Amino acid sequence: MKKLLLSSIVILIGFTFIGRLSYLQLFRFSPDQILDDPAIKKVYDYPERGYIYDRDGKLLVGNQPAYDVMVIPREVKPLDTLEFCSLLGIDKPDFISKMEKARRYSPRLPSVLVPQLSKEDYARLQEKMRHFTGFYIQKRSLRYYNTKSAANVLGYISEVNEWDLQNNPYYVAGELKGRTGIEKQYEEILRGRKGVKHIQKDRFNRDIGPYKEGRLDTLPQQGKEIHISLDKVLQEYGEKLMHGKRGGIVAIEPKSGEILAMISGPTYDPALLVGRERSRNYSKLHYDTISKPTWDRSILAQPSPGSPFKILNALVGLEEGVIDTETKFRCYHGFYVGNTLRGCHCGGGIRDLNNGIYKSCNAYFAGVFRKIYDKYETTDQGMDVWEKHMKSFGLGDFLGTDLPTGAPGRIPGKEYYDKWYGDGRWAASTIISNSIGQGEIAATPLQLANMTATIANRGYFYTPHIIKSVGGNGNIDPKFSEPRYTTIDRKHFESVIEGMANVYNYGTGRWVQVPDIEIAGKTGTVENFIRVDGERMQLTDHSVFVAFAPVENPQIALAVYIENGYYGSRYAGHIASLLIEKYIKGEITRKDLEKRMLEKTLEHEYNKPYSGEPFKINEYVW
Amino acid sequence: MFGKGLFGRLDWVTVILYALLVFIGWINIYSTSVGEAHTSIFDFSTLYGKQLFFIGLATLGIIFVLFVESYFFERFASIFYIVSIVLLIGLFVFGKTIAGATSWYDLGFFNLQPSELAKVATALALAKFLSDIQTDIRTGKHQIYALIIILLPAVLILPQPDPGSSLIYFSLFFVLFREGFPIYYLGILIFAVVIFATTLMFGTVWVAIGLIILTLLIYTFKKASVKIPVLPVLGVIAVSILFSLSVNFVFENIFEQRHRDRFVLWLSLEKDENKLDEIRKTIGYNTYQSEKAIESGGFIGKGFMEGTRTKGDFVPEQHTDYIFSSVGEEWGFLGTATVILLFSLFFLRLIYIAERQKNDFSRMYGYGVISILVFHYFINIGMVLGLLPTIGVPLPFFSYGGSGLIFFTMLLFIFLKLDSNRLKDGI
């Protein structure tokens, strides 16, 4: 016993240690501990963010250097504070509080003292920098905008937040990430891939050399440039025309689905969201909840489309065979739903497809709409057929564009009305407003532009997209080059397009003709309401216009939506005609009209509901 | 293979194991202390350079020990003992303070730690006393003498303060056990430790309930022929409960907060996970870091000189008390298991050698050597692995430090020298 005691103890201890070691090194060990190893610091090498060009190769977004003044509090030697402050453009109390903040963060680690100096400040400071020990200048790259337009399309970049950090392991706190628009959508292409250096640290957080001689390190991959389909000239011109107006414009090249312009009014200079004033500017824009400059109306606003939608009802009527081009309806300066007369501004009389369209006759389209439903035994069946046709134009659902945001619009189906009225308690006459694009139908300007492009193409469209080429060699998602066909036969389009061309020639759009360009279009005047302090008020109608040109071989299809612009040709039509002229001819011949559109604002309309006074709507005030 | 000379009679298995341990230790000291600039391994401004120098000194020590006549150690054991006691007392006046402990004499080129010397001397003196023909360890008087020999240096070392070294002397009880000191004393000690720990963990009430249930179980399952008197058993239970009651008092009033924190950590007394984690990362910082470093080594380790936490110097005292964590990080489970295996073989070999001694003094001294080494090994690695509370003792042959290495070496080689003479008559 006593001879074996010590041996047993030695063996017991051995097994205990081996057991504990197995637990620690075999059971608890996990191979990715390098991630939280305090001894390895990762230093990143950021590649330059890719440039963004327009469809013609004009630079839209580049990069500019910015200079942060950094401080390592522990290394600071006594200095001429006043001189330093004046060089930095801050006052002394500010300087002292910033230094205190940096020291509290860490005496050993660098903190930003003054972010993003301008080039001029930097130049002045640089010469004197050597007098100030413990401070240094760190260069970083900011976005530079070669345009004051397209802020919402281009989007902005900002520091990653908690959510990004948790959901994407690529990002590290303090990095920048595309937040909206193209910057967001093409984030991975634009940003490239950062390089990583692993640095071995000691417990005082001092660098003591590369980890594993840099075998795990990676080189940065450059961000790629991208070309987008916007036309810089058209975009900038459109934004000028939107001066003082709210609304959205989208222009599409029908033969490719490329978005030529995406204009939202009001807008802002994208440069506001860069640099030292960024957060102040951002708050200002973000908290403007009335005019909402950061809310991209071209893809998010979902008004009722109004009369342009009549064209689709005509096409469905033709496709379903319930009308032909000669089918006639009588307009009694309106039409009867039961015993109620619904008004119409076409002037009354006998209407067929052609003048029904160019005079925008409500009675004609109400008649067509009823006939579509009458073809089927039940309203539900009629509804399903109608809904299917409408949705084939990309309405009532997300289009599948390469924009990070969007809205589905609405093509109401039978479930919608069953819920609203009850099953079997509604009929075509109940929802007759849908025939003229009012009622429950809603579409974004982008959807309207796409609908117009579809008509221009005589029955198909390409999914609208903003990307033209990645890295200068095409290389975009193949889904953007696949045509999407509607359920309407190609042969029905010509007669409808003829009606749309006549809108310009004799109809509601005759005031907005462009010399030498044949345009097919359709006006829209959309009733709308607002709630202010719980009170429902009707406002001046929205002005809507859709058009494509030239009628043969269309190059541009667009939708213009001007909030409270009154009737269709008044603002939307004029703006559309100017944009078409600008795009096709490159210059404007109708200088008076251009001047008027550039100068007129609708601020007086927008102020009405907030004035607290009773107001009139739909006034002719020029 | 070396004939009948000294080299032929030396136990080469032990020597090779010793050399391996020293070599592996030095490799790890090199890894923890090598800097950016790769200088020569003989650069004495570096820790690994100095350790190499100490290895040289230790080798000289070995040669010295091997050429001294064996009887010299037995004859002068008392003198050594008295000299080391004097040196320990002298520390109170001439001691040099390093890291808060007054444990060193400054010899200029070298800091001498007399508590290391005293370990050798005490082992010798104890062996000499016990092997004396007139000593009978079964008598109370001689038990007390033996205790005094062991405890005197321990008491002198305690106020340096160096509780770790002080504790080491208790290991010499194993010598006594081997020589007939009643082994149930060890049982009592273990029993007391168990009561102490369980009281802290569960409270006196549960300890009492546990004891009673245990007693009842023993009575239920004992053979009918075995008679266990009732009164002494009741007495044991009563004393245990009294002891248990005193535990809380001692813990709350005699212990200092830093001691309490170590126990809180060791026994996971704090039930709030967050608070426990907090303590683990502050009070238990060393252990936390060393466990993390070992854990991060995995099965095969990060490789020689690739230990990130080792290089980053995250584990404090890594070249001394925490050297084993460097083994764990850089050599992984393969490395740590190998070291444990080497130590175990080494100790078992030494026990085997001790048992083959015909001379009492040699055997007793051998047991002293083994007990001291095993105790160091147990406490050091137990602490590094987070099994024991933080007690600062070096890992023999591994940890950086001149006094440690030289005296551990001399401790060992005196024994090997005695062993080499075992076949001669007398010493």
Q: Which domain holds residue A79?
A: 65-142
Task: Tell me what pLDDT residue A622 has.
Answer: 53
Task: Tell me what pLDDT residue B4 has.
Answer: 62
Task: Tell me what pLDDT residue A38 has.
Answer: 64
What is the tens place of the pLDDT at every residue in A314-369? 999 999 999 998 999 999 988 888 888 888 888 888 999 998 998 889 999 999 99
Q: Provide the token pair at B48.
A: 């690994």
Task: Tell me what pLDDT residue A208 has.
Answer: 72
| Whether residues A590 and A526 fall in one domain | yes
| Whether residues A221 and A238 fall in one domain | no
Q: How would you classify the pairing of strands A176-178 and A226-228?
A: unpaired
Task: Tell me what pLDDT residue B39 has.
Answer: 62
- Tell the residue number behind the tokens 């053979």, with chain if given: B223
Q: How large is the ipTM?
A: 0.88
| Whether residues A385 and A370 fall in one domain | yes
For residue A603, the Cα-to-chain-centroid distance in whole angstroms is: 24
**CA A528 – CA A111 distance, rounded (Å):** 53
Q: Give the one of A1, A5, A24 whose C-beta lies nearest to B295's C-beta.
A: A24
- What percentage of chain B carries pLDDT values higher than 90? 33
- Does residue A414 lie in a domain region? yes
What is the tens place of the pLDDT at every residue in A58-95? 999 999 888 888 888 887 888 888 888 888 888 889 88
What is the tens place of the pLDDT at every residue in A45-68? 888 899 999 999 999 999 988 888
- pLDDT band at residue B159 under the 50/70/90 scheme: confident
What is the tens place of the pLDDT at every residue in B348-398? 999 999 999 888 899 999 999 999 999 999 999 999 998 888 888 899 999
| Whether residues A185 and A280 fall in one domain | no
Higher pLDDT, residue B289 or A255: A255
What is the tens place of the pLDDT at every residue in A199-224? 777 666 667 777 767 777 888 888 89
pLDDT at A418 over 50: yes
Q: Which of A101, A126, A142 is the last residue of a domain?
A: A142
Q: Does B314 touch chain A (CB under 8 A)?
A: yes
What is the tens place of the pLDDT at every residue in B121-130? 999 999 999 9
Q: Provide the token pair at A260.
A: 């030529």
Least CA distance to B370: which residue of chain A?
A6
Q: Are A539 and A525 in contact (CB under 8 A)?
A: no
- Does residue A7 lie in a domain region? no
| Whether residues A436 and A344 fall in one domain | yes
pLDDT at A408 over 90: yes
Other CB atoms within 10 Å distance of the CB of residue B401: 22
Q: Does B236 touch chain A (CB under 8 A)?
A: no
Q: Give the one of A6, A38, A201 whose C-beta lies nearest to B351's C-beta.
A: A6
Chain B residues with beta carbon closer than 8 angstroms to that of A209: 36
Least CA distance to A15: which residue of chain B?
B340
Residue B160 sits at φ, ψ, to 5 deg, of -60, -35
Task: Tell me what pLDDT residue A309 has.
Answer: 93
Q: Please state the domain count of chain A.
A: 3
- Does residue A328 lie in a domain region? yes
Q: What is the rounded average pLDDT for all residues in chain A?
A: 87
| Residues B294, A24: C-beta atoms closer than 8 Å | yes
Q: Does A208 touch chain B (CB under 8 A)?
A: yes
**CATH code, A307:** 3.40.710.10
Task: Tell me what pLDDT residue B133 has.
Answer: 83
What is the tens place of the pLDDT at every residue in A583-601? 999 889 888 889 988 998 8
| Whether residues A213 and A305 fall in one domain | no
- Does residue A499 lie in a domain region? yes
| Residues A6, B332: C-beta atoms closer than 8 Å | no
Least CA distance to A35: which residue of chain B?
B296
CB contact set of B398 (below 8 Å; sequence gap of 6+) = B21, B22, B24, B25, B28, B323, B324
- Does residue A564 lie in a domain region? yes
| Whether residues A342 and A196 fall in one domain | no
Task: Tell me what pLDDT residue A368 has.
Answer: 93
What is the tens place of the pLDDT at every residue in A283-292? 888 888 888 8
**CATH code, A197:** 3.90.1310.10
Task: Tell me what pLDDT residue B427 has.
Answer: 45
**CATH code, A97:** 3.30.1390
Q: Give the one of B333, B381, B386 whose C-beta lies nearest to A25's C-beta.
A: B333
Task: Tell me what pLDDT residue A491 has.
Answer: 92
| Whether residues A202 and A242 fall in one domain | no
What is the tens place of the pLDDT at every residue in A16-46? 999 999 998 888 887 665 555 666 777 788 8
Higher pLDDT, residue A238 or A42: A238
Task: State mean pLDDT over A155-159.
Answer: 87
Chain A residues with beta carbon closer than 8 angstroms to that of B381: 17
Contacts from A196-200 at CB under 8 Å and sequence distance 24+?
Answer: A196/A42, A196/A43, A196/A44, A196/A45, A197/A42, A197/A43, A197/A44, A197/A45, A198/A40, A198/A41, A198/A42, A198/A43, A199/A40, A199/A41, A199/A42, A199/A43, A200/A39, A200/A40, A200/A41, A200/B308, A200/B311, A200/B312
| Whether residues A272 and A207 fall in one domain | no
| Whether residues A450 and A564 fall in one domain | yes
| Whether residues A138 and A152 fall in one domain | no
| Whether residues A104 and A213 fall in one domain | no
Chain A residues with beta carbon closer than 8 angstroms to that of B299: 25-26, 29
What is the tens place of the pLDDT at every residue in B47-105? 888 899 999 999 999 999 998 888 888 889 999 999 999 999 999 888 888 877 888 88
Q: Which of A168, A203, A228 is the last residue of a domain?
A: A228
- Does residue A122 lie in a domain region? yes
Taking the complete model, does pTM exceed 0.80, yes or no? no
Least CA distance to B298: which residue of chain A?
A25
| Residues A16, B387: C-beta atoms closer than 8 Å | yes
Q: What is the rounded average pLDDT for all residues in chain B?
A: 85
What is the tens place of the pLDDT at every residue in B195-220? 888 888 888 888 888 888 888 888 88
Q: Which of A76, A107, A142 is the last residue of a domain?
A: A142
